Structure 1
Amino acid sequence: MLKRITAALALTAVATLAQAQDGHVFKLDQVAWQPAGLKGAEMAVLWGDEAKGNAVWAFRLQPGVAIPPHLHTKDYWGFAIQGQWAHIDGHGHTVVTGQDAFVRIRANELHADRCVGPQACINIIQFDGSRDIVFPEAPKKAP
C-alpha cells in the first residue's frame, strides 16, 4: 500500500523569490524557506510555477536529517550547491554527492536522502512535471 502526498496537499510552498538587491541576484539566505514536513527540512520554489509543474525547487536539510524511503511519480534531476547530500537507493546503497556531481532519480524509484554534514545541505531540484512524494505504508498489524 502506498501513501501519495502531492505538493499542493502535503507541503504548501509559496513562490519564494527574495528581493534582489541589484535587481537580478538573489541570495539563498534571503529566500523565504518553508517547512517541508520534517524537522530540519525546508523548501522553496526558486522560480517557475508549482501549479504548472515547471518549478525549480531548493531543499535545505540540516546535518544528520534523513528523508525516509520514498518515491516520486516523475523523474527529477538535482545537485547539491552546499554540503554533502547522500542518496540511498532501494537496496540501501549510499552515494554521497558534493558540488562535483548531479543526480537523476527516475519516476517510481524507491530512494532516501540524508544530509551528511557538518554543513547544512542545499539542493536544487527540478521535476519532469509536478512534484509529489510517496511514502510506502507500513503493513498494518493484526488486532
Structure 2
Amino acid sequence: MLMLSPFKSLLAAAGLIAFTALAQAGGSHGDGHIFKFEDVAWEHARVEGVEMAILWGNEADETAVSAFRIQPGASIPPHTHTNDYWGLAVQGTWVHIDADGQEMRTGQDAYGRIKGGDLHADRCAGPEVCINILDFDGARDIAFPE
C-alpha cells in the first residue's frame, strides 16, 4: 500500500476539491475538471466574516475535510480543538497566532499542524480573501475559553 506523508496527503486532497465542490455545488466550469471555490456551498461559521464548507467526507464518520473562507481583516478569537489538524492556505495570507501571541503568516508555500488542545487564533491578513483547507484527526470542534 502506498503511504503518503501528511503534507503530500493534503496536496492530493486539495486536488480532489474540484470534484467535491462540484458535487456539493451542482455546477461546473469548462470541461468538468476545474471548479471554483465560488461554487462551494459556504455556510456562516460562528464568527463574523468566517464561513465554512465540507469539501468531501462527512462529519458523522469523522472523515470530513473542511474549507474555511475568512474575509480580509476578520479573525477567529483564541480557541482550541479536541483533535490535531493539518491546515493549508490555498488563497490569501492566513495568519496563525499561538498562545503566546506570536503570529505566523502562512501562504501557499507552507502548511501547518495544530495539536489538539493548543490555544491559538487565526485571521486573514488581506487584502485577498483567505481560503484554508483543514483536515482534522477525528471530529472537528471548536471551544472558545471564557
TM-score, normalisation: structure 2: 0.80
What is aligned with 1:11? Answer: none
- Point out which structure has higher relative CO (alpha carbons under 8 A, 6+ apart): 1
- The answer to whether 1:72 aligns with 2:91 is no
- The answer to whether 1:19 aligns with 2:23 is no
What is aligned with 1:48? Answer: 57
Q: RMSD of the alignment, in Å? A: 1.5
Q: Which has the higher helix share?
A: 2
Q: How does 1:55-134 map to 2 (within 5 A)?
A: 55-134=64-143
Is the 8 Å Cα contact of residues 19 and 26 (structure 1) preserved in structure 2? Answer: no
Secondary structure at 1:135's aligned position in 2? coil
Amino acid at match of 2:128: Q
1:39-97 deviation digits (Å, cap 9, x = unpaired):
11100000001111110000000000010000000000011000000000000110000
Amino acid at match of 2:71: Q
Deviation at 1:19, TM superposition (A): 2.0
Structure 1 gaps of 5+ residues are 1-14, 138-143
Structure 2 gaps of 5+ residues are 1-19
Q: How many aligned residue pairs are there?
A: 123
Q: Percent identity?
A: 59
